[in-house]
Structure 1
Amino acid sequence: MLAGRRYRLELTAEQTARCEEFANVCRAVWNTGLEQRREYRRRGAWMNYAPQCKELAEAKREHLWLKAAPSHILQQTLKDLDRACREIGTFKVRWRSQARWPPSFRFPDAQQIQVERLGSRRGRVKLPKLGWVRFRWSRPLGGEIRSATVSRKSGRWFVSFLVDDQVATPKRHAMPATAVGIDRGVRFAAVTSDGDFHDRAFIRPGEAGRYRRLQQKLSRTHRGSANRAKTRGRMNKITGRVTDRRRDFCAQTADRLVRKYALVVLEDLRIKNMSASASGSLAEPGRQVRQKAGLNRAILDKGWHRLELALTSAARYTGTSVVKVNPAYTSQRCSACGFVTEGNRESQAVFVCKAPDCGHREHADVNAGKNIKAAGLAVSACGDLGAGRSVKQEPVGRVTGRTPHQGIPALQGGEDVKGTVIPWPPPRP
């Protein structure tokens, strides 16, 4: 199956300048291609990958600065744009801002990529128009290289190899009779139905203090100034370390769970909607904005979606099935008797069943995990049920595990649209 291997690059000053130039050209191609697609859609026509790629080749004859970047990374940029427009819609795709977009570009041709190991801690890779680039050999490749992506994060450049490790997903888990339900929360990142609490602090107190001071300093700087860029760079270093810790925590937690359980059940949470700003709410705009902002930060800090992705990726190596169920009433239902009422949950951590003949008391997150597990077992027994079914009749969910990781699909370009020609050559970055 396909997997990623990420390494930190050790670029020279000349190679760093070339990477910046490649990223700027790719960003200009993306933005111009997106504007062209939107203009065609406004006229009721379509623009796809094939005609844009043809126009790009013609534009390179007139605009020599487009030739600074390898042709296939520009074509890959148009492929990524085509895929994004097909998946979420042309007018929902975001622009790539020079200030906010982390520079990146992909080399899709494995025949033009050569990797050599120089020692126990060093290696080098040969990339088109970059030459031999050294990187830290932090882990073995473990497979045949399919593509390479160069990106910048927190002021450092990295290379990510897509490799085929020749590993097949097991047809059966080592412990097929095991199952667990996971409740994701803001107090603990993940709580299992077996009573295990998975959580850690991703930012240290000293880093939090420095970040607040940098935010205050940033508010006093002028837009476009050198001091503002330096302050942003220091802030990015802190957030980069926080992101790395969160990614490491999710990967380790997911690995432990999929090795231990054959079935992992999650709530089907709409995290994007849950973390939306209260200031833009249509129901009661502008009310409890500060409280909602704090809740949004807590949700995003725990990395709910990243944990879900890590579970789905790790499940491929153990044969674990990842099931998502309807989250309705999982925090209010008693796992012992099934009695549902809003008053069962007395606080964030205390759950006490209000049924006259029950009185079950347990940690609220553990109780929710048990309800999630029960719903997942019902889904596994009955199959994938429709999303419109009521949770009072049957638990609702869908199986998302044991899905092979897919690379970038081959995109088919549509026919060109006749009419007024939209200028293709993008402005020089």
Structure 2
Amino acid sequence: MGVRRSFTFLLRPTRKQAAALAACLEDHRVLYNAALEHRRTAYRRAGVTVRYGDQSGELKHIRADDPGGQGRWSFSSQQATLRRLDKAFAAFFTRVREGRTPGFPRFKGRGWFDTVTWPKDGDGCRWDCQPEHPSATYVRLQGIGHVRVHQHRAVKGRVKTISVKREGTRWYVILSCDDVPAGPLPQAGAAVGVDMGVASLVTTSDGDSLDNPRHLASSAGRLAVAQRALARKKRGSRRRRKAVARVAALHAKVRRQRLDYAHKAALTLVRDYDVIVHEDLRIANMTRSASGTIERPGRNVAAKSGLNRSILDAGWGVFLRVLAHKAESAGRELIAVNPAGTSRTCSRCGHCAKDNRRTQAEFACTACGHTAHAT
């Protein structure tokens, strides 16, 4: 049975194509904001709820009135942008019903809208559309042309959707593919439990550990220099835009390094074990600020802030997401367990007590005397 996977490749646009890609992204951002304003105004003035079907029906008139702007892009990609807004509203109402912080959909400023999606290969876009050039791969995008792709690995399955994303000065194409072969690995005959940490990214029940590279910490010096330079620049100036781009490039590099290491670490585990058990961590709750309020200020705010930074730098969420995908493809079983009490429970006798974990780094069972490293 095939699975659904995405493949990300770097684009190599010409200068003219890069300008066209930027214009496409900007027009889709304008469309998103206009659709959001339409919904807000209709409800505020007349109590009318505007839905996706209404705005999709008006799209053809918008395109006809602006042939050199909105009319030059794919109709399907613009519908995908309207669906994106519709999903934002659906998520907003879900949070309201569940009593969570609502988070009303916001207008997208420059730099906060970086992706355009074509929902079907062949409708306004075409993947690998120039087979007469076997040594090169291209993607055709309506209004932009044939853009060269740096394809570093084979695409498997059936291409379903195509997205273009901007990260700083780089452009990427993302292919979402169905029916990708799973490719199960041979049975390893072993099971393991893993513990996430900041001293080591992963510590297994066998006593092995995978290092935490601390990519953000290693780039902290360069980031501090770039951010201080940014703070000195005048808002709206050309130099400030360049300084913003430098800071964004450094953060993007850290993100790519973290993802690359997560893939390598996850692959190590799925090759060696048939069953992998991990804690079902609520990372958003764990990294919540301890500052509190003016009336009830938090305690140990600086220490909690440092711990939050270390957890986010370790990239637990990225690692667990990648591990889930690799386990599914390799035919491994991944089990998430309730983390309550797991750090205080003895793996030898099962005794659970607060005194078992006297320090952050050491575990000593008060019942059977079993000791272990607790990172």
TM-score interval, smaller chain: 0.7 to 0.9
Report what 1:409 is aligned to.
Answer: none
Which runs of structure 2 are paired with 1:195-344 in the superposition (5 Å)?
A: 195-203=207-215, 207-280=219-292, 284-344=296-356
Structure 2: any 5+ residue segments left out of the alignment? 95-101
Structure 1: any 5+ residue segments left out of the alignment? 366-429
Confirm or deny: 8 A CA contact 2:4 2:179 kept in the other structure.
yes
Question: Is 1:158 the equivalent of 2:172?
Answer: yes
Report what 1:77 is aligned to.
Answer: 81
Question: Is 1:101 the equivalent of 2:112?
Answer: yes
Question: Is 1:148 the equivalent of 2:162?
Answer: yes
Confirm or deny: 8 A CA contact 2:156 2:181 kept in the other structure.
no
Q: In structure 2, the residue corresponding to 1:92 is in which secondary structure?
A: coil
- CA distance, structure 1, for counterparts of residue 41 and residue 373 of structure 2: 55
Q: Give how far 1:39 is off.
A: 5.5
Between 231-240 and 343-352, the greater mean CA deviation after superposition: 343-352
Residues 47, 183 of structure 1: alpha-carbon distance in 2 compared, 3 angstrom cutoff: farther
Instruction: Normalising by structure 1, report the TM-score.
Output: 0.76
Confirm or deny: 8 A CA contact 2:219 2:254 kept in the other structure.
no
Corresponding residue to 1:363 among 354, 369, 373: 373
- CA distance, structure 2, for counterparts of residue 60 and residue 242 of structure 1: 40
Instruction: Normalising by structure 2, report the TM-score.
Output: 0.86
Confirm or deny: 8 A CA contact 2:199 2:212 kept in the other structure.
no
Per-residue CA deviation, residues 121-169 of structure 1 (Å, 9 max, x unaligned), is x422222111111121211123332221111113111111222354157
- Tell me the C-alpha RMSD between the 2 structures: 2.7
Report what 1:110 is aligned to.
Answer: 121
Q: % of aligned pairs identical?
A: 35
- CA distance, structure 2, for counterparts of residue 345 and residue 283 of structure 1: 33
Confirm or deny: 8 A CA contact 1:169 1:316 kept in the other structure.
no
Per-residue CA deviation, residues 335-371 of structure 1 (Å, 9 max, x unaligned), is 222222223223222111223xx11111114xxxxxx
- CA distance, structure 1, for counterparts of residue 296 and residue 269 of structure 2: 40
Confirm or deny: 8 A CA contact 1:169 1:317 kept in the other structure.
yes
Report what 1:16 is aligned to.
Answer: 18
- CA distance, structure 1, for counterparts of residue 371 and residue 295 of structure 2: 36
What amino acid is aligned across from residue 59 of structure 2 in structure 1? Answer: L
Which runs of structure 2 are paired with 1:115-126 in the superposition (5 Å)?
A: 115=128, 116=130, 118=133, 122-126=136-140
Bigger relative CO (Cα 8 Å, ≥ 6 apart): 1
